[in-house]
Amino acid sequence: MKIQLENLLMHQTVVSLYGRLQHWQDTASPLAKAGWICAGYAAAAMIAAAGVVCHVLINFGPGEQNYSGMYAFGDSLLFLAAFAIASIPSTVAALFFLRPYPAFWRACSGIAAAGALIGIASSVIVITDARSLAAGIAFLCVIAAPLFGLAFGLCGFFAPNRNDRISLFAAAATDIIAFAAWVIACLIRNH
C-alpha cells in the first residue's frame, strides 16, 4: 500500500511538472527559451570549472609539476565529464522545446545513424590495427562513443515519432556496443 501511494505521488508530481513545462513551452518566446538554455549551459560550465579547480587544489604537489602534461589532460577530461553531467538539465530542456520541429528530429536521426557507423568503423580499425595513423584518429572516436551513445539515447527519449526514436536508440546502442567491443579487445589483448 505504501509503495503504491509513493508511486502515485511520484506520477502526480511528474504529470504536474510536465504540465507546467508544456504551458511554459506554449507561452514563452523563443528568445526566452534560448536564454534559459544558454544560462543553463553557462552554469554547467561554471560547475565543471569549479570541480576542476577543487581537484587541482586537492592534488597539487611535486608530481603535478613534473608531469604537468598528463595532469592537464586528466583535468580536461574531468572538465568534460563534469560538464556533460551538469549540462543534462539544459539539454533536456532544449530537446523538450525542439519536440514540435520534425526537421530537427530527421536531421538528428541522420546524424545519429552516421555517428553509429563511424563508431563501429572506428572500433574495427582500432581493434584490428592499433598501431596505424588511422587507428590513432579512430581511437578518439572510440573514446567518445559512450558520450555520443548517451546523447543519442537522451534524444531518443524526446523524439516525437516512433521512427526517429527507433533510429536514435539504435544509434545509442551501436555506439555503446562499439565501445564495449574495444574494451573487451583490450582486456583480451593485455591479459
| Distance from C-alpha of 141 to C-alpha of 174, rounded to nearest angstrom | 13
Terminal alpha carbon distance of the chain: 51
The whole model's pTM is what?
A: 0.73
Q: How many residues does the chain have?
A: 191
- The model's pLDDT over 113-162, given as tens digits with 9 standing for 90+, comes to 999 999 899 888 888 887 878 888 888 888 888 888 989 999 999 999 99
Indicate the SS3 state at residue 25: helix
Is residue 82 scored above 80 in pLDDT?
A: yes
Indicate the SS3 state at residue 100: coil
Q: Which three cell numbers stand for residue 138?
A: 579512430
Dihedral of alpha carbons 81, 149, 151, 96, sign: negative
Between 121 and 70, whose confidence is greater? Answer: 121
Q: Which three cell numbers stand for residue 40?
A: 543553463
| Distance from C-alpha of 11 to C-alpha of 17, rounded to nearest angstrom | 10
Is residue 14 scored above 60 in pLDDT?
A: no
pLDDT, residue 137, reads 86
| Distance from C-alpha of 70 to C-alpha of 89, rounded to nearest angstrom | 31
